[in-house]
Amino acid sequence: MAEKNNHALVFGASGNVGWGLVDQLLSNYPAPGIFSQVTALVNRPLKLEDSFWPLDQAPRPELQLVSGVNLVEGTVKSISELLRSRVKDIENVTHVFYFVDTDQSLLRPPVYKSEPDPKEEARVTRRMLEVALSALNQVSPRLEFVVFPSGTKEYGIHIPGGIFKAPYVESMGPLPEGSQHTINYPGMRAALAEASEGRQWTWCDIRPDAVIGFVPNGSAFNITAHWANYLSLYALVEGKGAEVPFPGTLEGFDSLYNEASADVIARCSIWAALHPEKAGGGQAFNIADQAKAESMRERWPRLAAYFGLQGIAPSDDQNILKPSEYTAKHGAVLEKVGVKNSPVFKSDFLDSYGYYLAFDRHLSLEKVKTAGFTEELDPNQSWFMAFDRYRKAEMIPG
């Protein structure tokens, strides 16, 4: 275990995974006193009182929240100056968690169009990381470890029908020639390898599939908020006990997978950062709430039941509205009950989740368990906890 008095710096702290990382650190994971300081960096404005982090936890690490960290438009000089001037004890940062919501940054005009060219997206995301790492190399001489999350695009899940046969293991790849440009991660790993060369710090890649999580002020491609909005609204409009078909195909309903909560991603990331001898050297680790693969045939009824609905198999009715369409049509109902709603950017893309992911894509957790991270969570409870958080934040009906 690393020594105490560590200082964690979290980029993208209001995003799906970044929020969970800060939450776990403030909850004293893995033990009180391991981290004495946590600095949460965000781009969009966020007040501490609107963050829903456990600020009343005692004891807990000292927390500072810094907004306006724009890596899309920032330079090494500007980001270095920002960190020096606005982050207390930046010179004592020991662990960095780079969970920047790059998709969301690329969605905002006039910087980039809503459907960025894959090559341009890869170039921009690599440059953002290079700016951050170069700045850190200038201002944080005590840095020991950097964690960044990739995902199952590494295994080609975004390519129709998939590429590899599940369960996916970290040694699979690379993607076939002609498909490498469709993902950002190779360039980001190259940036990490270059920035860490000759330095005392090392890094790793944490690799989840679908992420279950809470965000305080909206995010892109957030399936948890997307379905929370849809199912809570469906229950209001159609009534408790109504049947709600899974939004997808029968193949998508029965395909095997194992999702990861932001909590388990955060815990694994913290474990890795504190064990460079086991997790460093640019290694990749699959992560999920549990090793057991399940399907939406098992999960969808449980999610629907949380909202008092009956989750059933997909319908052949072509006139059924997709979740984003249903939410757009009946959104005024949420306003009437005083719900703030959780903004989900690119929700129309999330409508395709149950359609294009119609093949087995579960992850093997053997490598991370062998290395020493053996925690598992009940994925149903992870979904329910995320829904509870949205309810507490008054983003979905109580």
Q: Which residue has the higher pLDDT, 180 or 384?
A: 384
pLDDT of residue 341: 63
Is the per-residue pLDDT at 166 higher than 50?
A: yes
pLDDT tens digits, 126-162: 999 999 999 999 999 999 999 999 999 999 999 988 9
Angle at 127 between CA 126 and CA 132, to 5 degrees: 100
Cβ neighbours of 275 (radius 10 Å): 17
Mean of all residue pLDDT scores within the chain: 92
Is the per-residue pLDDT at 64 higher than 50?
A: yes
Cα separation, 366 vs 376, whole angstroms: 13
The whole-number average pLDDT for the span 344-353 is 84
**pTM, entire model:** 0.94
Q: For residue 344, count CB atoms less than 10 angstroms from its CB and return exposed for 0-12, middle for 13-18, buried for 19 or more.
A: buried
Tokens 């690329």 belong to which residue?
106
Percent of the chain with pLDDT over 90: 82
Residues 6+ apart with CB under 8 A from 318: none
pLDDT of residue 109: 33
Task: Give 186's pLDDT tier (boundaries 50, 70, 90).
Answer: very high
Q: For residue 249, count CB atoms less than 10 angstroms from its CB and return exposed for 0-12, middle for 13-18, buried for 19 or more.
A: middle
The whole-number average pLDDT for the span 23-34 is 97
